[in-house]
Amino acid sequence: MKRILLIFKYSPKLTVGVLILLFLILLAVFEPTINYYRLGGRSSTEIGLFDTFLPPSREHPFGTEAYGRDVLSLLLTGLRYSLLIGFTAGGLATLIAVFLASIAGYKGGRIEAFITTIANAILIIPSWPILAIIVLFVTKVNLLLLSVILAFFSWAGASRQIKAQIASLKERPYIDLAKVTGFSDLEIMFKEILPNFLPYIFVGFSSAVTGTIMAETAIRLVGLGPGDIPSLGQFINWAIYSGTLAQGYYLIVISPIAFLILTFVSLNLINVGLDEVFNPRLKQVTGV
Protein backbone atom coordinates (compact mmCIF):
# COMPACT_ATOMS: atom_id res chain seq x y z
CA MET A 1 0.00 0.00 0.00
CA LYS A 2 2.77 2.34 0.98
CA ARG A 3 4.55 1.46 -2.23
CA ILE A 4 1.52 2.35 -4.30
CA LEU A 5 1.23 5.72 -2.58
CA LEU A 6 4.90 6.33 -3.31
CA ILE A 7 4.29 5.64 -6.98
CA PHE A 8 1.59 8.30 -7.11
CA LYS A 9 3.83 10.77 -5.36
CA TYR A 10 6.51 10.09 -7.93
CA SER A 11 4.33 10.90 -10.92
CA PRO A 12 1.75 13.69 -10.75
CA LYS A 13 0.60 12.79 -14.29
CA LEU A 14 -0.34 9.28 -13.16
CA THR A 15 -2.18 10.69 -10.14
CA VAL A 16 -4.20 13.17 -12.20
CA GLY A 17 -4.99 10.53 -14.83
CA VAL A 18 -6.13 7.96 -12.27
CA LEU A 19 -8.25 10.53 -10.41
CA ILE A 20 -10.05 11.66 -13.58
CA LEU A 21 -10.61 8.10 -14.75
CA LEU A 22 -11.87 7.02 -11.32
CA PHE A 23 -14.29 9.94 -11.31
CA LEU A 24 -15.61 8.95 -14.76
CA ILE A 25 -15.91 5.29 -13.78
CA LEU A 26 -17.78 6.23 -10.59
CA LEU A 27 -20.19 8.36 -12.62
CA ALA A 28 -20.74 5.45 -15.02
CA VAL A 29 -21.20 2.89 -12.25
CA PHE A 30 -23.69 5.00 -10.31
CA GLU A 31 -25.50 6.20 -13.45
CA PRO A 32 -28.61 4.05 -12.82
CA THR A 33 -28.92 5.33 -9.24
CA ILE A 34 -28.30 8.97 -10.18
CA ASN A 35 -30.71 8.85 -13.10
CA TYR A 36 -33.35 7.00 -11.08
CA TYR A 37 -33.17 9.70 -8.48
CA ARG A 38 -33.16 12.58 -10.99
CA LEU A 39 -35.78 11.27 -13.43
CA GLY A 40 -38.01 9.41 -10.98
CA GLY A 41 -37.62 6.01 -12.59
CA ARG A 42 -38.09 7.11 -16.20
CA SER A 43 -35.50 6.17 -18.81
CA SER A 44 -33.00 8.87 -19.76
CA THR A 45 -33.59 8.11 -23.46
CA GLU A 46 -37.38 8.47 -23.27
CA ILE A 47 -38.51 11.06 -25.80
CA GLY A 48 -40.58 14.06 -24.72
CA LEU A 49 -40.01 13.72 -20.99
CA PHE A 50 -39.51 17.49 -20.66
CA ASP A 51 -39.85 20.56 -22.89
CA THR A 52 -37.32 20.83 -25.70
CA PHE A 53 -34.20 23.01 -25.47
CA LEU A 54 -34.71 24.20 -21.89
CA PRO A 55 -31.79 26.37 -20.76
CA PRO A 56 -29.54 25.13 -17.95
CA SER A 57 -31.27 25.41 -14.60
CA ARG A 58 -31.15 23.88 -11.14
CA GLU A 59 -33.39 21.08 -12.30
CA HIS A 60 -31.52 20.52 -15.58
CA PRO A 61 -27.88 21.60 -15.06
CA PHE A 62 -27.10 21.07 -18.76
CA GLY A 63 -30.59 21.91 -20.05
CA THR A 64 -32.67 19.62 -22.26
CA GLU A 65 -32.19 18.67 -25.91
CA ALA A 66 -34.21 18.55 -29.14
CA TYR A 67 -36.29 15.52 -28.11
CA GLY A 68 -37.03 16.87 -24.63
CA ARG A 69 -34.56 14.71 -22.76
CA ASP A 70 -32.40 15.82 -19.87
CA VAL A 71 -28.86 16.37 -21.21
CA LEU A 72 -27.06 15.46 -17.99
CA SER A 73 -28.78 12.11 -17.61
CA LEU A 74 -28.22 11.31 -21.30
CA LEU A 75 -24.55 12.17 -20.84
CA LEU A 76 -24.23 9.81 -17.89
CA THR A 77 -25.98 6.99 -19.77
CA GLY A 78 -23.75 7.64 -22.77
CA LEU A 79 -20.64 7.62 -20.63
CA ARG A 80 -21.72 4.32 -19.07
CA TYR A 81 -22.16 2.63 -22.44
CA SER A 82 -19.02 4.15 -24.01
CA LEU A 83 -16.89 3.01 -21.09
CA LEU A 84 -18.60 -0.39 -20.99
CA ILE A 85 -17.85 -1.05 -24.67
CA GLY A 86 -14.37 0.45 -24.33
CA PHE A 87 -13.44 -1.74 -21.37
CA THR A 88 -15.00 -4.91 -22.82
CA ALA A 89 -13.44 -4.48 -26.25
CA GLY A 90 -10.20 -3.11 -24.83
CA GLY A 91 -9.97 -6.05 -22.42
CA LEU A 92 -10.57 -8.55 -25.24
CA ALA A 93 -7.99 -6.81 -27.42
CA THR A 94 -5.45 -6.90 -24.60
CA LEU A 95 -6.07 -10.62 -24.04
CA ILE A 96 -5.49 -11.32 -27.73
CA ALA A 97 -2.44 -9.06 -27.74
CA VAL A 98 -0.85 -10.63 -24.64
CA PHE A 99 -1.55 -14.12 -25.93
CA LEU A 100 -0.05 -13.46 -29.37
CA ALA A 101 2.84 -11.41 -27.99
CA SER A 102 3.74 -14.26 -25.61
CA ILE A 103 3.59 -16.82 -28.40
CA ALA A 104 5.72 -14.55 -30.59
CA GLY A 105 8.19 -14.02 -27.76
CA TYR A 106 8.28 -17.69 -26.74
CA LYS A 107 8.47 -19.29 -30.18
CA GLY A 108 10.41 -16.56 -31.95
CA GLY A 109 11.62 -17.05 -35.52
CA ARG A 110 9.05 -17.49 -38.25
CA ILE A 111 6.00 -17.49 -35.99
CA GLU A 112 7.10 -14.20 -34.49
CA ALA A 113 7.66 -12.75 -37.98
CA PHE A 114 4.22 -13.98 -39.05
CA ILE A 115 2.42 -12.48 -36.06
CA THR A 116 4.30 -9.20 -36.48
CA THR A 117 3.38 -9.02 -40.15
CA ILE A 118 -0.30 -9.60 -39.41
CA ALA A 119 -0.25 -7.02 -36.61
CA ASN A 120 1.49 -4.48 -38.84
CA ALA A 121 -0.96 -5.15 -41.67
CA ILE A 122 -3.89 -4.44 -39.34
CA LEU A 123 -2.15 -1.28 -38.16
CA ILE A 124 -1.31 0.00 -41.64
CA ILE A 125 -4.60 -0.69 -43.35
CA PRO A 126 -7.31 1.93 -42.84
CA SER A 127 -9.82 -0.02 -40.77
CA TRP A 128 -12.68 2.48 -40.62
CA PRO A 129 -14.31 1.61 -43.99
CA ILE A 130 -14.00 -2.11 -43.24
CA LEU A 131 -15.44 -1.66 -39.77
CA ALA A 132 -18.30 0.48 -41.10
CA ILE A 133 -19.20 -2.09 -43.77
CA ILE A 134 -19.11 -4.94 -41.27
CA VAL A 135 -21.40 -3.08 -38.88
CA LEU A 136 -23.67 -2.16 -41.80
CA PHE A 137 -23.94 -5.71 -43.14
CA VAL A 138 -24.05 -7.75 -39.95
CA THR A 139 -27.59 -7.29 -38.77
CA LYS A 140 -28.44 -7.38 -35.07
CA VAL A 141 -25.18 -6.13 -33.64
CA ASN A 142 -25.35 -6.25 -29.84
CA LEU A 143 -22.93 -4.89 -27.31
CA LEU A 144 -20.82 -8.04 -27.08
CA LEU A 145 -20.59 -8.60 -30.83
CA LEU A 146 -19.69 -4.95 -31.38
CA SER A 147 -16.95 -5.30 -28.75
CA VAL A 148 -15.58 -8.43 -30.44
CA ILE A 149 -15.49 -6.69 -33.82
CA LEU A 150 -13.78 -3.64 -32.33
CA ALA A 151 -11.30 -5.83 -30.45
CA PHE A 152 -10.33 -7.59 -33.66
CA PHE A 153 -9.17 -4.29 -35.13
CA SER A 154 -7.43 -2.92 -32.06
CA TRP A 155 -5.36 -5.75 -30.65
CA ALA A 156 -2.53 -4.89 -33.06
CA GLY A 157 -1.87 -1.52 -31.47
CA ALA A 158 -1.82 -3.02 -27.98
CA SER A 159 0.44 -5.84 -29.09
CA ARG A 160 2.90 -3.34 -30.55
CA GLN A 161 3.01 -1.49 -27.25
CA ILE A 162 3.46 -4.70 -25.26
CA LYS A 163 6.07 -6.18 -27.57
CA ALA A 164 8.22 -3.09 -27.48
CA GLN A 165 8.27 -3.39 -23.71
CA ILE A 166 9.04 -7.13 -23.68
CA ALA A 167 12.02 -6.52 -25.89
CA SER A 168 13.52 -4.12 -23.36
CA LEU A 169 12.52 -6.34 -20.43
CA LYS A 170 14.30 -9.39 -21.86
CA GLU A 171 17.62 -7.56 -21.83
CA ARG A 172 17.51 -6.66 -18.14
CA PRO A 173 20.35 -8.23 -16.11
CA TYR A 174 18.13 -9.68 -13.36
CA ILE A 175 16.65 -12.11 -15.87
CA ASP A 176 20.13 -13.43 -16.58
CA LEU A 177 20.78 -13.56 -12.87
CA ALA A 178 17.64 -15.65 -12.36
CA LYS A 179 18.70 -17.98 -15.17
CA VAL A 180 22.15 -18.45 -13.69
CA THR A 181 20.63 -19.08 -10.27
CA GLY A 182 18.77 -22.00 -11.83
CA PHE A 183 15.18 -20.70 -11.92
CA SER A 184 12.94 -22.60 -14.32
CA ASP A 185 11.32 -20.86 -17.28
CA LEU A 186 7.97 -20.83 -15.48
CA GLU A 187 9.48 -19.38 -12.34
CA ILE A 188 11.19 -16.67 -14.34
CA MET A 189 7.92 -16.00 -16.16
CA PHE A 190 5.80 -15.65 -13.02
CA LYS A 191 8.27 -14.41 -10.42
CA GLU A 192 10.45 -12.13 -12.48
CA ILE A 193 8.80 -11.12 -15.74
CA LEU A 194 5.09 -10.95 -14.92
CA PRO A 195 5.29 -8.55 -11.95
CA ASN A 196 7.48 -6.26 -14.02
CA PHE A 197 5.30 -6.81 -17.01
CA LEU A 198 1.92 -5.88 -15.50
CA PRO A 199 2.32 -2.12 -15.93
CA TYR A 200 3.05 -2.67 -19.63
CA ILE A 201 0.00 -4.85 -20.04
CA PHE A 202 -1.92 -2.01 -18.51
CA VAL A 203 -0.34 0.44 -20.97
CA GLY A 204 -1.49 -1.85 -23.79
CA PHE A 205 -4.93 -2.13 -22.19
CA SER A 206 -5.49 1.58 -21.78
CA SER A 207 -4.41 2.35 -25.34
CA ALA A 208 -6.75 -0.40 -26.57
CA VAL A 209 -9.58 1.13 -24.54
CA THR A 210 -8.86 4.52 -26.10
CA GLY A 211 -8.75 2.98 -29.57
CA THR A 212 -12.00 1.07 -29.20
CA ILE A 213 -13.91 3.99 -27.70
CA MET A 214 -12.67 6.17 -30.56
CA ALA A 215 -13.76 3.61 -33.15
CA GLU A 216 -17.12 3.05 -31.49
CA THR A 217 -17.76 6.78 -31.31
CA ALA A 218 -16.83 7.17 -34.98
CA ILE A 219 -19.29 4.44 -35.99
CA ARG A 220 -22.15 5.75 -33.90
CA LEU A 221 -21.44 9.34 -34.90
CA VAL A 222 -22.46 8.64 -38.49
CA GLY A 223 -25.52 6.71 -37.37
CA LEU A 224 -24.29 3.15 -37.86
CA GLY A 225 -24.51 0.33 -35.37
CA PRO A 226 -27.04 -0.69 -32.72
CA GLY A 227 -29.46 2.19 -32.14
CA ASP A 228 -30.51 0.76 -28.77
CA ILE A 229 -27.10 1.36 -27.21
CA PRO A 230 -27.11 5.09 -26.39
CA SER A 231 -23.35 5.68 -26.16
CA LEU A 232 -21.78 9.14 -26.31
CA GLY A 233 -21.21 8.81 -30.06
CA GLN A 234 -24.92 8.12 -30.54
CA PHE A 235 -25.70 11.17 -28.42
CA ILE A 236 -23.55 13.42 -30.66
CA ASN A 237 -25.29 11.91 -33.68
CA TRP A 238 -28.72 12.78 -32.25
CA ALA A 239 -27.55 16.28 -31.43
CA ILE A 240 -26.13 16.92 -34.91
CA TYR A 241 -29.11 15.50 -36.79
CA SER A 242 -31.66 17.41 -34.72
CA GLY A 243 -30.22 20.74 -35.86
CA THR A 244 -28.86 21.60 -32.44
CA LEU A 245 -25.86 23.45 -33.90
CA ALA A 246 -27.90 25.52 -36.33
CA GLN A 247 -30.11 26.67 -33.46
CA GLY A 248 -27.10 27.62 -31.38
CA TYR A 249 -27.37 25.14 -28.47
CA TYR A 250 -23.64 24.51 -28.39
CA LEU A 251 -23.51 23.12 -24.84
CA ILE A 252 -25.43 20.01 -25.92
CA VAL A 253 -22.80 19.13 -28.55
CA ILE A 254 -19.79 20.23 -26.54
CA SER A 255 -20.56 18.25 -23.37
CA PRO A 256 -20.41 14.70 -24.82
CA ILE A 257 -17.26 15.69 -26.72
CA ALA A 258 -15.74 17.00 -23.50
CA PHE A 259 -16.56 13.73 -21.71
CA LEU A 260 -14.90 11.71 -24.46
CA ILE A 261 -11.80 13.88 -24.55
CA LEU A 262 -11.56 13.71 -20.75
CA THR A 263 -11.61 9.90 -21.00
CA PHE A 264 -8.88 9.81 -23.67
CA VAL A 265 -6.68 12.33 -21.88
CA SER A 266 -6.95 10.55 -18.52
CA LEU A 267 -6.03 7.19 -20.10
CA ASN A 268 -3.07 8.77 -21.84
CA LEU A 269 -1.88 10.50 -18.67
CA ILE A 270 -1.96 7.11 -16.95
CA ASN A 271 0.13 5.64 -19.76
CA VAL A 272 2.70 8.43 -19.65
CA GLY A 273 2.75 8.24 -15.84
CA LEU A 274 3.29 4.47 -15.80
CA ASP A 275 6.12 4.92 -18.26
CA GLU A 276 7.69 7.49 -15.96
CA VAL A 277 7.39 5.27 -12.92
CA PHE A 278 8.49 1.99 -14.48
CA ASN A 279 11.06 3.41 -16.88
CA PRO A 280 12.93 5.58 -14.38
CA ARG A 281 15.81 5.96 -16.78
CA LEU A 282 13.49 7.80 -19.15
CA LYS A 283 12.67 10.23 -16.37
CA GLN A 284 16.30 10.83 -15.60
CA VAL A 285 16.97 11.67 -19.22
CA THR A 286 13.87 13.72 -19.91
CA GLY A 287 13.62 15.46 -16.56
CA VAL A 288 9.88 15.97 -16.67
Partner 1 sequence: MKKSIFSYLINRILLYALIFLISLSAFFFFINLVPGDPVTRYIQMLEQRYGLSTPASEIVIQKYKEVFGLNKGLFERYTSYLSRLILHFDFGPSFVAFPKPAIELILESLPWSVGLLGTSVIIAWVLGVILGTIVGWKRESKISSTFFTIGLVISQIPTYLLAIVLVMVFTFWLNLFPMGGAYSAMLQRSFSLRFILSLIKHAFLPSLSLVFVYVFGTMISQRALVINVLGEDYIKLAEAKGLKSSRLINRYILRNTLLPQATGLALSLGFIVNGFFLIEWIFNYPGIGRLFMMAIREMDYNVLMGITITTMFCVLTANLIIEFLYPLIDPRIRRG
Chain positions contacting partner 1, by CB under 8 A: 117, 120-121, 123-130, 132-134, 136-139, 210, 214, 217-218, 221-222, 224, 236, 240, 245-246, 248, 250, 253-254, 257, 260-261, 264-265, 267-269, 272, 285-288
- 8 A C-beta contact, residue 214 and residue 200: no
Helix axes 250-278, 2-10, angle to 10 degrees: 110
Provide the minimum distance between the beta carbon of 128 and partner 1 in the complex, in angstroms, as a whole number: 4
Least distance (Å) between residue 47 CB and partner 1: 21
Q: Cβ of residue 34: shortest distance to partner 1, in angstroms?
A: 25
User: Nearer to partner 1 by C-beta: 103 or 123?
Assistant: 123
Distance (Å, whole) CA 82 – CA 147? 11
Shortest Å, Cβ 127 to partner 1: 6
Q: How far is CA 29 from CA 32, 83, 206, in A?
A: 8, 10, 18
Whether the Cβ atoms of residue 263 and residue 11 lie closer than 8 Å to each other: no
CB-wise, 4 or 246, nearer to partner 1? 246
Shortest Å distance, C-beta 138 to partner 1:
6
Q: Secondary structure of the chain in the HEC alphabet?
A: CHHHHHHHHHCHHHHHHHHHHHHHHHHHHCHHHHHHHHHCCCCCCCCCCCCCCCCCCCCCCCCECCCCCEHHHHHHHHHHHHHHHHHHHHHHHHHHHHHHHHHHHHHCHHHHHHHHHHHHHHHHCCCHHHHHHHHHHCCCCCHHHHHHHHHHHHHHHHHHHHHHHHHHHHCCHHHHHHHHHCCCHHHHHHHHHHHHHHHHHHHHHHHHHHHHHHHHHHHHHCCCCCCCCCCHHHHHHHHHHCCCCCCCCHHHHHHHHHHHHHHHHHHHHHHHHHHHHHCHHHHHHHCC
In angstroms, what is the minimal distance from the CB of 32 to partner 1?
27
95 or 123: CB nearest partner 1: 123
Q: Write down the least CB distance from residue 89 to partner 1, Å.
A: 16
Residue whose CB is less far from partner 1, 29 or 133? 133
Beta carbon of residue 38, minimum distance to partner 1 (angstroms, whole number): 26
Residue whose CB is less far from partner 1, 192 or 216: 216
Nearer Cβ to partner 1, position 120 or 184?
Answer: 120
